[in-house]
Amino acid sequence: MKASEAAAILDGARITGTDNEFSRLRANSRSIRPGDAFIAVKGSADDGHRYIEDAIKAGARVVFCNPGTCTANSHAVTAIEVPDTREALRRLLPALYPEAERLGLIGITGTNGKTTTTYLLESVLKAAGKEPGVIGTINMRHHNVSITSSITTPGPLDLFEQLDSMARAGVDTCVMEVSSHSLDQDRVMGLKFDCGIFTNLSQDHLDYHPDMEAYFLAKKRLFDVYLKGAAVINIDDAFGKRLVRDLPDAITYGRQAGALIHLRLCRADSEGLHLTLSSPAGDLHLNSRLMGEVNAYNIMACVGASIASGIDKSAVVSGIEALQEVPGRMEPVRNRLGLTVLVDFAHTPDALQHALASARSFTKGRLISVFGCGGDRDRTKRPLMGAIAAAASDVVIVTSDNPRSEDPAAIIEDIVAGIDDRSRLMVEPDRCKAIRLGIGLMKSGDCLLIAGKGHETYQIIGSQRLSFDDRVCAAQCLEEVSRP
């Protein structure tokens, strides 16, 4: 695109310098390649205008900036001055990536359940003959393409580029996790969702949001600002009840009979879930391989979005039943001993409580938990999670998660401070040794829940990102135990 063509899209744009052509638009000066354009946007922590010279040195041929902030013409670079670069970016994205707007979009927000719900919807869409793509915490994927995610919801340029790529590859619907950070920072600018799902809201990210009200209002932006279609809301959640007051036409779900989609039967065992759901499409009888009653909510959310998308009931049932497991979400670690070992991403008080309750529902013997808390994150949740684990488990093993720059021992002290009865408490800072300890304690009928890291394949200690996977460690420990 030529600089003059881009300027014509923008209100109040003033162009100086030669009319250069650019191949890509970037908002990060470190990602600039020769021939790119750079747009200087002020973010929550930094201002792109500070890096204009860096972008030019890296090869930017066009710079979008606020008035008087760029001397680009002295470098044979085109300067496009606009009143508001963030608004300029919003206007440019659809023009640069026109194919992205062809996709149907389903956005999922909430503290817990987003990832599992994307996997369920992906399976249902495939069963309905659709071509789905997914953007979320674990990866960005479509067809045979899978790119590991570094962030739940990418920035606006990366997001539009990925959506455009999906559309060109034949994807017709993208299911996306939409984080509170991304909504607060307007990373989904320029998008309108055909369906928005609210799963729940509980304490998390209070290192970023000043309080729970601010956290809720960030989530609410998905429905207030970015939704053009149906809302699907969990009304068993207190914040969901608040949200639905402003969205009276929402498809509601929950255990209570007042929800449009509600549970009539829910039985959990070591093989999965057996459900009967009442819905606007009629009763649905489902046998899911997903473990634990907590997944009944994710299944109801999927059913709601599927109904909103006009998917046939038979495809909904077959799609849900086809999904075998979700990486790091109540994921069983298979073993020759017949022991029930589960790995789950639960890293918030509410998620840990629900994961333990789910595990308890099908555990005949003792429930053993291994967990820790991440460093450089909300510290107030640590004693809460300690108390929850102690109340719900027969044995609690507190260990490290991703301590980052904090002292692992100090994090563990914060967790243990919430535990009154320490008779069933064990502490092992080395995470693999803690998992080995938990497996060594197991007897027939027991269940071990390893919580906090889920699908992650690394552990962040200080400035080091070390290879570590709960599932791999557990499998190795189980293999050691099973050897004669």
Question: Are residue 233 and residue 311 in the same domain, yes or no?
Answer: yes
Question: Are residue 380 and residue 474 in the same domain, yes or no?
Answer: yes
The closest alpha carbon to 359, from 276, 420, 269, belongs to: 269
**Model's pTM, two decimal places?**
0.92
Question: Are residue 350 and residue 425 in the same domain, yes or no?
Answer: yes
- Across 364-400, b (16+ Cβ under 10 Å) vs e yields eebbbbbbbbbbebbeebbbbbbbbbbebbebbbbbb
The closest alpha carbon to 219, from 236, 242, 191, 248, belongs to: 242
- Could you tell me the maximum CA-CA distance found in the chain, to the nearest angstrom? 77
Q: Per-block average pLDDT, block size 10, for the chain (484 residues)?
A: 95 92 94 96 88 94 91 76 96 95 97 96 98 96 91 91 96 97 93 98 86 95 97 97 96 95 94 96 97 95 98 98 97 95 96 95 96 96 98 98 97 98 97 98 97 97 96 96 72
The boundaries of the domain holding residue 59 are: 3-94
**Structural domains of the chain, count:** 3
- Of the three residues 296, 322, 348, the one that is the final residue of a domain is 322
Query: Which tokens in the block code for residue 148?
Result: 């590991």
Question: Are residue 299 and residue 374 in the same domain, yes or no?
Answer: no
Question: Are residue 80 and residue 124 in the same domain, yes or no?
Answer: no
Structure-derived torsion over alpha carbons of residues 353, 355, 356, 358, reported in degrees to the nearest 10: 120
Question: Are residue 252 and residue 104 in the same domain, yes or no?
Answer: yes
In this structure, are residues 233 and 247 in contact, taking their beta carbons and an 8 Å threshold?
A: yes
Question: Are residue 385 and residue 316 in the same domain, yes or no?
Answer: no
Could you tell me where the DSSP H helices lie in 329-469? 349-361, 381-392, 408-416, 431-441
Question: Are residue 104 and residue 86 in the same domain, yes or no?
Answer: no
Residue 45 sits in a domain whose CATH number is 3.40.1390.10
DSSP character for 211?
A: S
How does pLDDT run across 450-470, given as a tens digit for each residue?
999 999 999 999 999 999 999
Query: Which tokens in the block code for residue 226?
Result: 């970015």
- Of the three residues 94, 121, 155, the one that is the final residue of a domain is 94
- Of the three residues 94, 129, 145, the one that is the final residue of a domain is 94
How does pLDDT run across 232-247, given as a tens digit for each residue?
999 999 999 999 999 9
Predicted pLDDT of residue 18: 87
Q: How far is residue 448's CA from residue 458's CA, in Å, rounded to a whole number? A: 21
Residue 458 sits in a domain whose CATH number is 3.90.190.20
Question: Are residue 87 and residue 104 in the same domain, yes or no?
Answer: no
Residue 280 sits in a domain whose CATH number is 3.40.1190.10
Question: Are residue 220 and residue 186 in the same domain, yes or no?
Answer: yes
> Which residues pair with residue 409 across a beta bridge?
none
Question: Are residue 138 and residue 268 in the same domain, yes or no?
Answer: yes
CA 214 to chain centre: 19
Question: Are residue 283 and residue 236 in the same domain, yes or no?
Answer: yes
